């Protein structure tokens, strides 16, 4: 994926949907668990060294699987390489579940499916297309409609 590093750093400074200091193990051979500040912003998961303002990395949460590993640990792996896992250790089972839920809902794919679902439900209830009522272009509505297939 192509990205502009300055734009990505600016995004990392935005208010977080969720943030915490967690244990993190990157998918390198022999890597150890390190304390990292983890920050979810839109569909990016940024990770920082504690007490540093600039991220040392970011994960784009698209085409990924979030899996509970233990009661208070989860991992993120990507479709193109399911063996390569980023592992996170939380302070509690509750915190772990909150992260799993938030990360599962953070992807563009999830938001797009939700939009299609709610658009259809509103249309069933009112008989009107809510996107048309909001003045969203015919082209954009066509792109959303093609998702149902």
Domains contained in the chain, CATH given: 5-106 (2.30.29.30), 110-148 (no CATH)
Q: What is the CA radius of gyration of the chain?
A: 18
Q: What is the pLDDT of residue 149?
A: 45
Token pair of 43, please? 């569909």
pLDDT tens per residue across all 149 residues of the chain? 556 788 888 888 888 999 999 999 998 867 799 999 999 998 999 999 999 999 999 999 988 999 999 999 999 999 888 788 999 999 999 999 999 999 988 877 777 777 888 888 888 888 888 777 777 766 665 555 555 54
Residue 8 to residue 22: CA distance in whole angstroms:
21
Q: How many CB atoms lie within 10 A of CB 24?
A: 19
For position 22, what pLDDT does the model report?
97
Q: Write down the pLDDT at residue 117.
A: 83
Helix and strand totals (H; E) in the chain? 5, 7
């Amino acid at each position: 994926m192509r990205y502009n590093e300055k734009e990505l750093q600016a995004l990392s400074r935005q208010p977080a949907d969720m943030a915490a200091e967690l244990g993190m193990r990157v998918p390198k051979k022999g890597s150890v668990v390190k304390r990292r500040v983890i920050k979810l912003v839109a569909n990016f998961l940024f990770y920082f060294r504690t007490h540093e303002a600039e991220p040392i990395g970011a994960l784009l949460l698209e085409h990924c699987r979030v899996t509970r590993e233990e009661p208070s640990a989860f991992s993120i792996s990507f479709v193109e390489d399911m063996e390569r896992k980023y592992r996170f250790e939380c302070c509690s089972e509750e915190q772990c579940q909150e992260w799993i839920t938030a990360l599962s809902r953070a992807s563009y794919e999830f938001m797009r499916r939700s939009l299609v679902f709610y658009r259809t439900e509103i249309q069933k209830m009112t008989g009107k297309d809510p996107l048309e009522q909001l003045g969203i272009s015919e082209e954009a509505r066509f792109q959303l409609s093609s998702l149902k297939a």
